[in-house]
């Protein structure tokens, strides 16, 4: 039998075809596994209870250096909870043994190999006629909104998960937060000499930031991140373990929490509204985390009113290089008397 010879180009094409077929098969297996998991997780509901106490309210105020609710000033019963401050409540009540190896709670974690979690964004909606207040007894019901498998992203195959968290007090529904997490496979890239992978190197701003109507600048320090982690009972190593953040996740340093970023956005807009129109309240907010924010690097929280859509504001967080790291849109309503 004559020996069959392949040209180098033909060999490469066959290799590429085999690799492509293998990738399709692997992705099909992952999708099938995720669909099986979706059938189980879609029926899941987590019901939690808490109380809007003045102490947690005040501790978040001190963490954010709020001009009113800091030091030993405790809010009185009936005081409205500022937008996004519900994060001081409903901490994950699980033991250390129930957490992932890198410290996050696993209530909604997809099956292996999707083990690394990042905060992707979210949505919030408030009942302006029934705000949460100090003294409220509250209930939060968490359930799955959606799951999406996205192959071949920046960090390889990924799974996006959206979880609705509906919070009610004694008067009924008060607000809903939808959290979006992205789960990826452990990275195989190695850090450069500065301890950063290619995905987290410092880059120059690509686009000029928009004109803003208001701005707030802050440099989140290790103490800022520790206090926010402690108050929200967030034990994800990426926020306080420098060695893990740089050597395992390959970032320049510990990362600012996604929830802290959007809380700063809400605080900045809320302060602007109260100074200009005290009857206006934030009704909804949608945001997306575009790139990480790193500890000890100055950030700017900015926003502006949409000239074409009354009651709508664009908000963003710019990193130290001027990149728009977090981007969002808020709607504002007039509070009924």
Distances from the Cα of 68 to the Cαs of 61, 82, 134, 140, 188, in angstroms? 8, 12, 15, 27, 47
Give the per-residue pLDDT at 194.
39
Report, in angstroms and rounded to the nearest whole number, the Rg of the chain calculated over CA atoms.
23
Give the per-residue pLDDT at 12.
35
Pairing of strands 45-51, 137-153: antiparallel
CA-based angle 7:8:10, to the nearest 5? Answer: 65
Provide the β-strand partners of residue 324.
318
Give the per-residue pLDDT at 191.
43
Q: Is 168 left (phi over 0), alpha (psi -120 to 50) or beta?
A: beta
Query: Token pair 């208001």 is at which residue?
Result: 214
Whether the upstream peptide bond of residue 113 has omega within 30° of 0, thus cis, is yes
Look at residues 60, 70, 74 and name the one whose alpha carbon lies nearest to residue 224: 60
Say how far apart CA 238 and CA 249 lie, in whole Å. 8
Q: Taking the C-alpha atoms of 179, 184, 188 and 190 in order, what is their torsion angle to the nearest 10 degrees? A: -20
Per-residue tens of pLDDT for the chain, all 337 residues:
433 333 444 333 434 444 344 444 456 788 888 888 999 999 999 999 999 999 999 999 999 999 999 999 999 999 999 999 999 999 999 999 999 999 999 999 999 999 999 999 999 999 999 999 999 999 999 999 999 999 877 778 999 999 999 999 999 999 999 999 999 998 755 444 333 444 444 444 456 788 999 999 999 999 999 999 999 999 999 999 999 999 999 999 999 999 999 999 999 999 999 999 989 999 999 999 999 999 999 999 999 999 999 999 999 999 999 999 999 999 999 887 6
Model-level pTM?
A: 0.86
Are 271 and 280 spatial neighbours (Cβ–Cβ below 8 Å)?
A: no
Give the per-residue pLDDT at 153.
74
Give the per-residue pLDDT at 196.
40
């Amino acid at each position: 039998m004559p020996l069959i010879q392949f040209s180098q180009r033909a060999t490469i094409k066959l290799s590429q075809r085999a690799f492509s077929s293998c990738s399709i098969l692997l992705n099909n297996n992952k999708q099938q596994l995720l669909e099986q998991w979706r059938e189980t997780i879609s029926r899941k509901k987590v019901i939690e209870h808490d109380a809007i106490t003045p102490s947690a309210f005040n501790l978040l105020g001190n963490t954010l250096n709020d001009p009113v609710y800091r030091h030993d000033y405790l809010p009185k019963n009936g005081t409205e909870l500022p937008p996004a401050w519900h994060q001081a409540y409903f901490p994950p009540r699980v033991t250390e043994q129930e957490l992932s190896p890198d410290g996050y709670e696993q209530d909604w974690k997809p099956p292996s190999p999707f083990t690394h979690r990042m905060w992707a964004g979210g949505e919030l909606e408030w009942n302006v006629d029934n705000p949460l207040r100090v003294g409220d007894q509250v209930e939060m019901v968490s359930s799955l909104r959606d799951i999406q498998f996205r192959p071949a992203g920046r960090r390889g195959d990924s799974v996006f998960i959206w979880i609705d968290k509906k919070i009610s007090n004694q008067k009924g529904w008060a607000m809903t937060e939808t959290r979006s997490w992205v789960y990826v496979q452990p990275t195989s890239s190695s850090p450069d000499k500065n301890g950063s992978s290619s995905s987290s190197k410092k880059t120059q701003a690509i686009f000029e930031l928009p004109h803003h109507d208001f701005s707030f600048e802050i440099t989140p320090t290790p103490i800022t991140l520790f206090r926010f982690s402690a108050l929200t009972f967030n034990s994800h190593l990426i926020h306080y373990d420098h060695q893990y953040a740089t050597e395992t996740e390959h970032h320049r340093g510990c990362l600012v929490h996604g929830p802290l970023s959007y809380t700063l956005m809400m605080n900045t807009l809320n302060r602007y509204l109260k100074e200009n129109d005290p009857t206006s309240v934030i009704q909804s907010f949608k945001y997306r985390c575009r790139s990480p924010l790193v500890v000890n690097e100055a950030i700017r929280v900015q926003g502006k009113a949409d000239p074409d859509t009354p009651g709508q504001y664009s908000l963003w967080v710019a990193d130290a290089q001027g990149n728009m790291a977090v981007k969002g849109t808020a709607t504002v309503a007039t509070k009924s008397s």
